[in-house]
Chain A
């Protein structure tokens, strides 16, 4: 079978929603299982080993696999249409084969219970080698896709020297630049430490491997966020029929993402012994800087919305809000994900605020935060953009508009209930990542009610997730016999989508070099500290054994 861009996009996007269905079901089971003293014998009994097994899948599947599949699929669809150039199809075929093989291998290993190491797989706990090989194959496959995309872009750049990079392509390039920044340290440590540890019992240093992991771990969040930011910039003005308020401001925001997404990993390691306060503080400041592009984005999108709303006759301070195309589920979902991301982003600033982190580190505050961010952009942002792809890419109708609306509504309400309850319990020290928080009845009473409330939120989220998976997979299966036609992306309309070449903003090569320098400066000191003290390797420990 010959792989072209459309086939690639169809397979990866469909695959990501299958994972979403399974991972979402697991999420519900986890939330119910964590309610103190809620006993569900015979109904929803989750043993401890099952809990950590499905938690591993929930994390790896939803945080790593879905973004990789969905983002590569979106890019394979959008980029050839905007640039009017084919991608290298041999690279596409290779990438698809590697990513699918890697994903399937890792999934089987996790579901077989051979990799109960959670999404962070901290050494020296070890999983079956197939888990690391599967993950490595998935990521290397995404690198092959990145090569195809960059090759296509450079070809376009040579052919269009005086033209500014279209904003959608600019955003997607940013996404993959950040992805390469993020995954390089991960691939280094998986090949150097984890695979030898798992296969040959190599002793590894805990502090060093954690530092490599978080070198990757925070840039990952910008990878999964950036395509949705791109779609805010690209689709919202399009839906409104106006120009983006400021394209140059959007490009500045993307440049800041390229620069500051990666050199911030120590803010996940504030409570790690053996890393000096000075370096942690440096990463704190860089984290605050990476909050600025989000603030610029919020302003730029809201200004675009206001401009369009006023042009349609919305007066007064907030009258323009009523003049928005809320009946379009794609538009509603995009704006909703922007609003929720604002709340999630602010709590991220609290996590990253150095001293304050001690209060919330590894408590339920943290999953409260990242469900507001990744849970939001993945389930609302990715899904509504997929609705837009139904007509353009899959040539299907949306099987149920009711399902599309209930997905956005139920998910948003459920997410707020779940996350606010988790924030609250986190302030009182309730731990995350535990199958059970009863501690033999010694748990503080402040933990009980929020966990009960969070379960209600999780049930609503699950219902919203079911509606989302039904709206997408149902449309793929039945969308040619029934359903309503939905407006696509209308790529190329209005045309042209390009602006004049800006020697500062469109010079991505220069910004990538600056970013690389910043990353080296931010990480050379902590690594110097780790290695100059002398590493202290420890033998691997089988997960789950006592």
Chain B
């Protein structure tokens, strides 16, 4: 037991620790609640044995700047393995696996989601306006002996930036997000692999 002189330091430190923890918790809560930045992702169960009929991989543009991207993962591929998007503002991803757990990462962004067999992961990415060029997509969860060869490419093309940005922003202002979670990924230092 500390003596009385020591006890005051003990209490001061406990107050400091409690304040640090409360401060961190408050800042995370602020980002989560006020700015709607949450690491959440919908999952819809899917029967892995009838996957080929129920799930069509591919890219579909549903409105100006709004894309639906369905990706099928397997040992050791992403299908499609080349995705080209023009002036994307809102990308709705649906990703599932036909065999084991994979990890979907667009390198240089903070798009980072686990991909499970038996579930379709559904999330939205609103890429930063300066995202442009070719991005490397990798698998970041060990999925077997060829795991390190599992890769794909995302290319973001930009037309006349100022004009189209305005149009697209208006077009996608609808709050109708359907079954998708309102996940917005944080903008993070966009490392562009090579210029498009």
Name the distance in Å between A273's Cβ and chain B's nearest Cβ. 4
Asked whether A428 lies within 8 Å of B21 as measured between CB atoms, the reply is: no
Once bound together, how far apart are the Cα atoms of A361 and B114, in whole Å? 10
Residue from B118, B122, B186 in contact with A359 in the complex, judged by beta carbons closer than 8 Å? B186
Count residues of chain A with CB under 8 A from any CB of chain B.
79
Contact residues of A between 389 and 433, Cβ < 8 Å to B: 427-429, 431-433
- Tell me if B55 counts as interface (CB < 8 A to partner A): no
Interface-lining segment among A10-18, A441-449, A465-473 = A441-449
Q: Which of A278-316 contact B (CB under 8 A)?
A: 280-281, 284-285, 288-289, 291-292, 295-296, 299, 303, 307
Is B10 touching A271 in the complex (CB atoms < 8 A)? no
CA distance A437 to B117 in the complex (A): 24
Which residues of B103-147 are within 8 A (CB) of A?
A: 103, 105, 107-108, 110-123, 136, 138-147
CB of B85 closer than 8 Å to a CB of A = no
B114 engages A272 (CB within 8 Å): yes
Q: Are A206 and B40 in contact (CB under 8 A)?
A: no
A274 with B1: CB separation less than 8 A: no
Q: Are B141 and A48 in contact (CB under 8 A)?
A: no
Does A354 contact B39, Cβ atoms closer than 8 Å?
yes
Asked if A247 and B28 sit within 8 Å, CB to CB, the answer is no
CA–CA, A334 and B187, complex, Å: 41
Known contacts A273-B113, A429-B107: A355-B32 contact under CB 8 Å: yes
Is B108 a contact partner of A429 (Cβ separation < 8 A)?
Answer: yes
B24 at the interface (CB under 8 A from A): yes
- Asked if A155 CB lies within 8 Å of chain B CBs, one says no
Whether A362 and B140, one on each chain, are in contact in the complex, defined by CB atoms closer than 8 angstroms, is yes
Residues of B at under 8 Å CB distance from A?
1-2, 6, 9-10, 13-14, 17-18, 20-21, 24-25, 28-29, 31-32, 37-43, 45-49, 75-76, 99-101, 103, 105, 107-108, 110-123, 136, 138-148, 151, 153, 185-186, 188-189, 191, 193-194
- Contact of B116 with A273 in the complex, beta carbons under 8 Å: yes
Asked if A498 is an interface residue, CB under 8 A from chain B, the answer is no
Residue of A274, A354, A363, A544 with highest tally of chain B CB at under 10 A: A274
Interface 9-residue window, one of A70-78, A102-110, A116-124, A129-137: A116-124
Return the contact of B39 from the options A48, A280, A289 (Cβ within 8 A).
A280
Please measure, in the bound complex, the distance between the C-alpha atom of A247 and the C-alpha atom of B43, giving whole angstroms. 48
Nearest-neighbour CB distance to chain A for B39, whole angstroms, equals 4
Residues of B within 8 A of A524 (CB): none
Contact B136 A545 (CB under 8 A): no
Contact A546 B108 (CB under 8 A): no
Q: Which of A328-371 contact B (CB under 8 A)?
A: 349, 353-355, 357-359, 361-363
**Which one of B43, B108, B145 contacts A52 once the chains associate, using CB atoms below 8 Å?**
B145
Name B113's contact: one of A207, A246, A271, A281 (CB within 8 Å): A271
Since A284-B28, A428-B107 are in contact, a sample of 10 more A-B pairs with Cβ atoms closer than 8 Å, ordered by chain A residue number, is A122-B100, A125-B143, A245-B6, A271-B114, A288-B25, A296-B17, A359-B186, A436-B148, A541-B100, A543-B144
Is residue A42 contacting chain B, with contact meaning CB distance below 8 A? no
A246-B10, A439-B136, A444-B107 in contact; A433/B99 too (CB < 8 A)? no
Chain A interface (Cβ within 8 Å of chain B)?
A: 48-49, 52, 116, 118, 122-125, 205-207, 210, 245-249, 269-277, 280-281, 284-285, 288-289, 291-292, 295-296, 299, 303, 307, 349, 353-355, 357-359, 361-363, 427-429, 431-437, 439-440, 442-444, 446, 499, 533-539, 541, 543-546
Which residue of B32, B41, B48, B108 contacts A354 across the interface (Cβ within 8 Å)?
B32
Report A-chain residues with C-beta under 8 Å of the C-beta of B100. Answer: 122, 124-125, 541
Q: Is the CB of A442 within 8 A of B151?
A: yes
Whether B42 contacts A299 by the Cβ 8 Å rule is no
On whether the beta carbons of A546 and B144 are closer than 8 Å, the reply is yes
Interface pair A362/B103, CB less than 8 Å apart:
yes
Inter-chain contacts of A363 with B (CB < 8 A): 105, 140
Q: By the criterion CB–CB under 8 Å, are A432 and B140 in contact?
A: yes
B112 touches A359 (CB 8 A): yes
In the complex, A428 Cα to B136 Cα: how many Å? 12
In the complex, chain B residues whose CB is within 8 Å of the CB of A116: 145
Tell whether, in the assembled complex, residue A433 and residue B140 are in contact, meaning their CB atoms are under 8 Å apart.
yes
Q: Which of A207, A269, A427, A533 has the most CB of B within 10 A?
A: A207
A536 to B45, CA, bound (A): 6
Q: Is A48 a contact partner of B146 (Cβ separation < 8 A)?
A: yes
Docked-complex contact B140 and A443, CB < 8 angstroms: no
Is A541's CB under 8 angstroms from B25's CB? no
The answer on a CB contact under 8 Å between B48 and A442 is no
Complex: A543 Cα to B143 Cα, angstroms: 8
List, sorted by A's number, 24 A–B pairs whose CB atoms are closer than 8 Å: A48-B146, A124-B117, A207-B116, A272-B116, A273-B113, A274-B41, A275-B40, A285-B25, A292-B18, A296-B14, A299-B17, A354-B39, A355-B37, A355-B186, A358-B186, A363-B140, A429-B138, A429-B191, A434-B148, A440-B151, A442-B151, A499-B1, A544-B145, A545-B144
Give Cα distance in the complex from A210 to B115, angstroms: 12
| Smallest beta-carbon distance A523→chain B, Å | 18
CB pair B43–A303 under 8 Å, yes or no, is no
Interface centre among A291, A296, A358 (most CB of B within 10 A): A358
Inside 8 A of B113's CB, which chain A residues have their CB?
271, 273
Give complex CA distance A281, B41 in Å.
14
**Neighbouring B residues of A271 by C-beta, 8 Å:** 39, 41, 103, 112-114
User: Complex Cα distance A91/B110, Å?
Assistant: 51
Q: Which residues of B contact A432 (CB under 8 A)?
A: 140
Query: Given the complex, which residues of B lie within 8 Å of A359, measured CB to CB?
Result: 110, 112, 186, 188
Cα separation A109 to B185 with both chains bound (whole Å)? 41
Contact of A277 among B32, B108, B115, B121 (CB under 8 A): B32
Counting chain B CB atoms within 10 Å of each CB, the highest count among A206, A245, A544 belongs to: A206
A530 nearest in chain B by CB position: B43
Residues of A within 8 A of B151 (CB): 439-440, 442
Assess whether A546 is in contact with B76, with CB atoms less than 8 Å apart.
yes
- Are B40's CB and A280's CB within 8 A? yes
Cβ contacts under 8 Å, B10 to chain A: 246, 249, 299
Most buried by B among A123, A280, A538, A544: A538
Bound-state Cα–Cα, A125 to B189, Å: 34
A299 to B188, CA, bound (A): 35
Query: In the complex, which residues of chain A have a beta carbon less than 8 angstroms from the beta carbon of B37?
Result: 355
Q: Across the interface, name the chain A residue whose C-beta is closest to B185.
A: A358
CB-based contact A247/B1 at 8 Å = yes
Chain A residue, CB-CB nearest to B101: A122
* B75 CB → nearest A CB, Å: 5
Give the chain A neighbours of B6 by CB distance below 8 A: 245-246, 303, 307
Residues of B within 8 A of A546 (CB): 75-76, 144-146
* Contact status of A270 and B117, CB under 8 A, knowing A122-B100, A434-B148, A536-B45: no
Task: Tell whether, in the assembled complex, residue A272 and residue B41 are in contact, meaning their CB atoms are under 8 Å apart.
Answer: yes
B100: min CB distance to chain A, Å: 5
